[in-house]
Amino acid sequence: MRMGWEIILSQAFLVSFLATTIRLAVPILIPTLGEIFAQKSGVLNLGIEGMMITGALGAFLTSYYTGNPWLGVLSGLVVGGLFGLLHAFMTITLSVNQVLTGLAIFALGPGLAGFLFRTIFGVTLIPPITTSFTPLHIPLLSKIPVLGPVLFQQNILVYLAFIFVPICGFILFKTAIGLKITGAGENPRAADTLGVNVYRIRYLCVIFGGVMAGFGGAFMALSTPGQTFMEYMIGGRGWIAIALVIFAKWNPYRALGGALLFGGADALQMRVQALGIGIPHHFLLMLPFVLTIVILVMISKGTSEPSALTIPYKRGNL
Amino acid sequence: MMKKFIGFFNVKERPILAAILSPVLAVLVAFGIGAILITIAGTNPLVAYQALFVGAFGSLHGFGETLAKTTPLLIIGLGLAVAFKSRMFNIGAPGQLYMGALAATVVGLTFTGLPAVLLIPLMMAAGFLGGATFGAIPALLKARFEVHEIICTVLLNYIALFFVNYLVEGPMKEPGSYIAATSMLPSSAWLPRLIPGTRFHAGFLIALLCIPLVYLILEKLTLGYRIKAVGASSGSARYGGISVPKYMILAMIISGGLAGLAGTIELSGIFFRLQQGFTFEVGFTAIIVAYLGRCHPIGVGLAALLFGALINGGQAMHRMTGVPVGIIYAFQGIVLLLVLASEYLVRRKG
């Protein structure tokens, strides 16, 4: 027991813990950014978890057969985008209940992914391993003690993910498109009167949300060398991303903070488990979920979501 | 937050024929889409579907298994119907089922000396209470802190799963056992099997009994009237003097309690011990069962039978033709999407 705690406080452990935190923040951060856009435009997407797992399968298969993880990522984005399109068609064109459509996609995703994976590979004793991304050491910066291994020895998708935060923030808060998105989600009729095509804005945002969920899934499938595919590999991250949108108050910069917090909780269970500290690993697995509920309890009251969230928009229907 | 999910289950406005027709059509179209997937998997869909139907209904044994799979879906689906009527979107049935089964296990392993007539009802009461308590948490958090119940119930599922897995691998594990499971319950805790050689057990009768019971609650009692009033319009309900949080919580107690009861029945009728890999996913399937059944007790009964048959038949199909069972879960999502889409068509006509 004493040994364990001493290791935890050592520099080597802290460095590996922080590096893992950064890496595990990504598959929560990316879908959260996408969901922020969808919700800001007025559409709730509860299907993130299902979109992530199908995106992960698309990425896994493509990278497996082509040996090129970049094509894998592309495939993950396309699959996620297609599910986003499905959600958009159901909720915007057909104005079907957003909650139920999202739940249907949540049910569909793991089933479809498991079905296709088993169809292709059957039941194998040796799981198929895909080509994944390897850490990219940034010259000079990666040599800095502590900071180097934590920040600058990650794989390239991690750097990309963090660049997305200011880009999303800029689009939402500093551009005309951002204003149109906010308008579509706050008061679609007024926005429509001012010449905003509410349908198009919502379609784009929901598809973007799907693409980002697919990206998150691709990250799960391709970011760890020697990784195989499992139907349950998303493990609730899609749901935590949805909770994180509330935590972030629909702000990409706040989402970054939240994602790091959850990345930390996730990293803690991975790193501490390896040490055998005496805390049952089930409790560590539980930690991100307990943390999310605690945060929701503290933050939910009085949060103002986009006013038109979950309400379908019908032109000329007063 | 999110107080305004509009018109989930306003069944009354829909013409009866459309309410029945759209789920039936959706299921038929879903079978068509399933056929395409099965063809992709390299199997003749007719052969696969034959295996599915024969597996589900073709023999006394198969039909018994179908009813065994129907049992938890029916009980949970009925409970979800109550929650959905109050507009509490309970996605937490898997977790509530686990906590119910856990409470029942504790009772069953403690009072081993009791005769079956006492022990089984006691376990069921404990199971109901365990599920109801776990179901009340998100309702309380919603009433007090405005926590979104969908997200909250989903997160609680993971917590219940990890907690029960911890117990069956650790403190409650049978000493010396190779699998992660508690000790066997005494045989006085077992529900009798109704068809020998199958897992069709007396729990099915309890599930059937729940149909009129939930009908009574929803259609004949003030409790149900108020639950529905809260769901239809919380503003009007409050204006009419109904305490909205109280009936949200009560609806979740019924819903969680029935999920816990389903967990107890799975325990006493199928597993006889709490273990890793205990019934979990049916808690999600039951959402689709409740919706497909229009949240009406009889509709829920029919939908539960359909999905019980699909799950059992799907496993038979897998054994006979090798089509991966994932297709049954994909099928569930497809059915729900199609029912939703068909409602759009009904609405346009109407």
Q: What is the ipTM, given to two decimal places?
A: 0.90
The candidate with the shortest Cα–Cα distance to B131, out of B253, B265, B3, is B253
At residue B223, φ and ψ (nearest 5 deg) are: -50, -50
- pLDDT for the residue B12: 46
Q: Which among B275, B280, B257 is positioned nearest to B130, based on CA atoms?
A: B257
Cβ B41–A109 below 8 Å, yes or no?
A: no
Does B47 touch chain A if contact means CB atoms closer than 8 Å? no
Tally of residues, chain B: 350
User: 3-class SS at A130?
Assistant: coil
Contact B296, B159 (CB under 8 A): no
Listed residue (A113, A148, A137, A75) closest to A233, CA to CA = A113
> And the tokens for B323?
């089509």
Strand partners, B275: B181
Q: What is the DSSP letter of B78?
A: H
Q: Which residue of B has its CA nearest to A309?
A: B2
- CB–CB contact B141 A108 (8 Å): no
Would you state the structure tokens that stand for residue B260, as one six-digit string? 């816990």
Are B336 and A103 spatial neighbours (Cβ–Cβ below 8 Å)?
yes
- Residue A274 in tokens: 């390896």
Question: B207 near B71, Cβ under 8 Å?
Answer: yes
Nearest to B2 by CA among A98, A305, A251: A305
* Element containing residue A120 per DSSP (H, E): helix A98-121
Within 10 A of A257 (CB to CB), how many other CB atoms are there? 14
Q: Which amino acid is at A28?
A: I
pLDDT given at position A28: 96
Establish how many alpha carbons lie within 13 A of residue A209's alpha carbon, considering only the half-sphere containing its beta carbon. Answer: 34
User: Are A115 and B91 in contact (CB < 8 Å)?
Assistant: no
Give me the pLDDT at residue A269, please: 81
pLDDT of residue A6: 67
Q: Could you tell me which chain B residue has the CA closest to the CA of A86?
A: B337
Chain B, nearest residue to A284 by Cα:
B162
Cβ of B163 within 8 Å of Cβ of A111? The answer is no
Residue from A237, A267, A224, A244 nearest A59 by CA: A224
Res A122 pLDDT > 90? no
Residue B228 C-alpha, separation from nearest chain A C-alpha, in angstroms: 19
Q: Do residue A105 and residue B333 have CB atoms under 8 angstroms apart?
A: yes
Q: What residues does B201 pair with on adjacent strands?
A: B193
Query: Which residue from B202, B224, B218, B206 is spatially nearest to B297, judged by alpha carbons?
Result: B218
What value does the mean pLDDT take over residues A283-300?
91
Q: How far is CA B187 from CA B78, B112, B116, B177, in A?
A: 29, 9, 8, 19
| pLDDT for the residue numbered B182 | 94
Chain A CB within 8 Å of residue B330 CB? yes
Tell me B186's DSSP state: P
**What number of other Cβ atoms are within 10 A of residue B15's Cβ?**
11
Identity at B167, one-letter amino acid code: L
b/e map A61-82, b = 16+ CB within 10 Å: bbbbeeeebeebbbbbbbbbbb
- The dihedrals phi and psi of A120, each to the nearest 5 degrees, come to -80, -45
Residues in chain A: 318
Please tell me the predicted confidence (pLDDT) of residue A113.
96
Q: Which two tokens stand for residue A263?
A: 């990345």
- Classify B178 as helix, strand or coil: coil
- B window 119-178, beta carbon within 8 A of A: 141, 145-148, 150-152, 154-156, 158-159, 162-163, 165-166, 169-170
Where is pLDDT greater, at A9 or A249? A249
* Model pLDDT, residue A1: 46
**Tell me, what DSSP letter sits at residue B189?**
G
Q: Which residues contact B157 (CB under 8 A, 6 or more apart)?
A: B91, B92, B94, B95, B283
Contact criterion met (CB < 8 Å) for B287 and A110:
no
Contact A246 B326 (CB under 8 A): no
Closest chain A residue to the Cα of B325, Cα to Cα: A115
Contact A296 B152 (CB under 8 A): yes
- The span from the CA of A287 to the CA of B224, in Å, is 37
Cβ A55 vs Cβ A274: under 8 Å: no
- Minimal C-alpha gap between B266 and chain A (Å): 22
Contacts of A286 in chain B (CB under 8 A): 158-159, 162-163
Token code pair at residue B309: 């048959």
Inter-chain CB pairs, A–B, below 8 Å: 164
pLDDT at A311: 87
Tokens of B271: 């597993």
Cross-chain residue pair A90–B340, CB shorter than 8 Å: yes
* pLDDT given for residue A8 in this prediction: 65
- Residue A124, SS3 per DSSP: coil
- pLDDT tier at A318, thresholds 50, 70, 90: low
Residue numbers in A near B6 (CB within 8 A) = 310-311
The CA-to-CA distance between both ends of chain B, in Å, stands at 32
Task: Please give the pLDDT value at position A4.
Answer: 59
State which H helix or E strand residue A292 sits in: helix A281-299
Distance from CA of A166 to the nearest CA of B (A): 27
pLDDT by residue for chain B (350 residues), tens digit each?
A: 344 444 444 444 556 777 778 888 889 999 999 999 999 888 999 999 999 999 999 999 999 999 999 999 999 999 999 999 999 999 999 999 999 999 999 999 999 999 999 999 999 999 999 999 999 999 999 999 999 999 999 999 999 999 999 999 989 999 888 889 999 999 999 999 998 888 999 999 999 999 999 999 999 888 988 999 888 877 888 888 888 899 999 999 999 999 999 999 999 999 999 999 999 999 999 999 999 998 999 999 999 999 999 999 999 999 999 899 899 999 999 999 999 998 787 776 54
Identify the DSSP state of B184. Answer: P
Q: For chain A, say whether B98 makes contact (Cβ under 8 Å).
A: no
HSE of A32, CA atoms in CB hemisphere, 13 A: 34
Greater pLDDT, A182 or A3: A182
CB contact under 8 A, B147 and A289: no
Q: Please tell me which residue of chain A has the smallest CA distance to B9.
A: A97
Rg (alpha carbons) of chain A, rounded to whole number: 20
CA distance B115 to chain A (A): 35
Task: With beta carbons under 8 A apart, name residues in chain B contacting A290.
Answer: 159
Contact A111 B2 (CB under 8 A): no
Residue A135 burial (CB < 10 Å; 0-12/13-18/19+)? middle
User: Which of A289, A307, A314 should we substitute to test contact with B (largest number of B Cβ atoms within 10 Å)?
Assistant: A289
Chain B residues whose CB is inside 8 A of the A300 CB are: 1, 145-148
Binary contact (B1, A300; C-beta < 8 A):
yes
| Percent of chain A with pLDDT strictly greater than 90 | 64
Which token pair is B95? Answer: 């977790």
Which residue's entry shows tokens 């038109």?
Answer: A308
**Contact (CB, 8 A) for A28 and A238:** no
- Best A97, A103, A246 member to test B by mutation, with max B CBs in 10 Å, is A103
Virtual torsion, Cα B305, B311, B314, B319, nearest 10 deg: -120
Indicate yes or no: CB of A297 within 8 angstroms of CB of B141. Answer: yes
Give the SS3 label for residue B350: coil
Query: Do the chains contact at A94 and B7, CB–CB below 8 Å?
Result: no
Spatial contact of A299 and A32, defined as CB atoms under 8 Å apart: no
- Residues of chain A in contact with residue B152, where contact means CB-CB under 8 angstroms, are 293, 296
Q: Nearest 5°: phi and psi at B309?
A: -65, -40
CA dihedral A181, A185, A191, A197 (to 10 degrees): 60
Contact A115 B333 (CB under 8 A): no
Distances (CA, A) of A104 to A47, A115, A124, B205, B283: 7, 16, 29, 30, 14
CA-to-CA distance for B229 and B205, rounded, in angstroms? 31
This prediction has a pTM of 0.91
Helix (H, G, I), strand (E, B) or coil at B275: strand
Q: How far is A276 from chain B (nearest CA, A)?
A: 15
Q: How far apart are CA B53 and CA B50, in angstroms?
A: 5
Chain B environment of A244 (Cβ under 8 Å): none
